[in-house]
Chains A and B, each alone.
Chain A
């Protein structure tokens, strides 16, 4: 290798090094790449749906493994914690592409079959925590309202500043997907989404809508609060 060659290679290496650093620099991909990456995320959603099993259950843990209450973070997107002026007037509206739309009180929901489990919560940020949740399996409610064959998705809406999520129907009908009204053996507290929240150990935390108001079966893929901003839509574990 001659000196000239060597100089040329050193120069090309330096150039590629600078280019590689340019890729970093906390750059978000800009307006050019970010939408393309979000489109590509649909491919990952599709693969995730193929990997999903409607019968595979998330592992359950003994109660002794629970994360101490204060260590389990809770959040909402409103400026202040969303609370109901008149909790007694709260109802869950279940409708959309169903034969028998329903309006359910908390008492009615609590009279339905109850499922309780102690499972690991996975946040998209990378942390995990173990807690016990109790509620009515979503599939029980679905059977009550009888979704039409066209229904492929479920939209969950809340009274937390327009926070909502869209789910694929198979994930919603997973046996561990519940409408939860209890957390660690006590009624759901306002910071965890009282009076009712969606919960499933097969989805990332942000998919589990708190402060539920409505459930709508639909044939078009609903967006969601974080999903519309760029977080993966499927969010399945």
Chain B
């Protein structure tokens, strides 16, 4: 996908008109043009769809499938919604580059190991604050170790060695992923920007059943952009706080930036639970909202309700 196409895509086009409502009404998909360059399989334009002039955003070839997707995937509890066409009518689209898929799954495995070995290390001193004091911050695991099944390493030295080994693939894998996003321009559909705030609110309304139709989206909706931007920042925070703990004298400026060693240790620990919470929500939403995205992350090919690749 070229950068030029990006800018002309629905990301910019769809948001100018107010809550992008018009194109979302069921039965208003655009015609013909619904063939993004990545399409491999046949696409059947929706039967009985009437061309809609209001649709014409900046990038019609990109926007059309969005509208189509919104039209064919109304909320299940909407009785008046037209019957969704058979799934065979979704186009096959190339979704994830092999670097994205590889780094995603390496990250998933390494992160489990990092959390498990980190919990082993935490158990050696299961509280926060310099000796004789206690940080005035919440810690539900104060004076509690993680259960044995969550820990990796067997004892402190084992946990340390796992942690200090896995940190290398974690960081290198993360750099490979971010480097690919930068070079390929794939950061664009992922980065949450100020203009994504309103669509994010619309998306949240949809999830809270305050709005019935699924807002238009490209490769990812605004909430997903928020989540995927957040998780990258969380990764950066984890790595930096980890470095601050590993070398508090040689990298004393970094340790000081976290408010000192004890606070760096606290933020490093908070990041763990944010990773765990993200992963739970992430996996749940994959199955509840868009199971086809799992295949896309495994094979690279996507055939589901959100075929646009903005």
Contact = CB atoms under 8 A, between A and B. Distances in A.
Interface of A: 1-2, 5-6, 9-10, 12-13, 20-21, 23-29, 34, 37-38, 40-41, 43-44, 48, 51-53, 56, 58-59, 67-68, 71-73, 120, 122-130, 201-202, 226, 229-232, 236-237
Interface string B273-291: 0000000000100010001
Top 4 A-B residue pairs of the complex, sorted by shortest distance between their CB atoms? A28-B154, A71-B132, A230-B157, A126-B125
A1 B125 contact: no
The winner among B155, B158, B168, B248 for most chain A CB atoms within 10 A is B158
A126 B121 contact: yes
B257 interface: no
A203 B151 CA distance: 26
Looking at chain B, what size class is its interface with the partner chain? 35 or more
Given A9-B294, A126-B121, A24 B150 contact: yes
Nearest to B167: A44
Contacts of B161: 29, 34, 37-38, 40-41, 230, 232
B94 interface: no
B247 A236 contact: yes
23 contacts: A1-B292, A5-B295, A6-B291, A9-B291, A20-B112, A25-B148, A26-B153, A27-B154, A28-B155, A29-B161, A29-B162, A38-B161, A59-B249, A67-B132, A71-B131, A126-B121, A126-B265, A128-B261, A128-B262, A202-B249, A229-B157, A230-B161, A236-B249
Given A1-B304, A40-B165, A67-B132, A237 B294 contact: no
B20 interface: no
The winner among B87, B156, B265 for most chain A CB atoms within 10 A is B156
Contacts of B158: 28-29, 34, 37, 230
The winner among B109, B120, B152, B157 for most chain A CB atoms within 10 A is B157
Nearest to A201: B249
B164 A52 contact: no
Given A21-B149, A237-B248, A2 B162 contact: no
A26 B153 CA distance: 6
Contacts of B265: 126
Nearest to B155: A28
Interface in B102-130: 109, 112-113, 116, 120-122, 124-125, 130
Interface string B71-82: 000000000000
B303 interface: yes
Contact of B152 (A9, A26, A229, A237): A26
A29 B261 contact: no
Interface string B231-262: 00000000000000001111110000000011
Given A122-B261, A129-B131, A56 B125 contact: no
Contacts of B154: 26-29
B6 to A, nearest CB: 27
Contact of A237 (B124, B249, B292): B249
A1 B295 CA distance: 9
A58 to B, nearest CB: 5
B160 interface: yes
Contacts of A6: 291
The winner among A23, A26, A58, A230 for most chain B CB atoms within 10 A is A26
A198 to B, nearest CB: 16
A23 B112 contact: yes
B248 A226 contact: no
A1 B152 contact: no
A41 B149 CA distance: 25
Nearest to B158: A28
Given A120-B261, A122-B248, A68 B132 contact: yes
The winner among B87, B153, B295 for most chain A CB atoms within 10 A is B153
A51 B250 contact: yes
Nearest to A53: B250
A129 to B, nearest CB: 4
Nearest to B265: A126
The winner among B154, B155, B287 for most chain A CB atoms within 10 A is B154
Given A1-B291, A202-B250, A237-B250, 15 more contacts: A9-B291, A20-B112, A23-B109, A23-B152, A24-B112, A34-B158, A58-B249, A59-B252, A67-B130, A68-B132, A120-B261, A124-B124, A126-B121, A230-B161, A237-B248
A52 B250 contact: yes
Nearest to B150: A24
A26 B112 contact: no
B87 A1 contact: yes
Nearest to B290: A1
Contacts of B298: 9, 12
Interface in B153-185: 153-158, 160-162, 164-165, 168
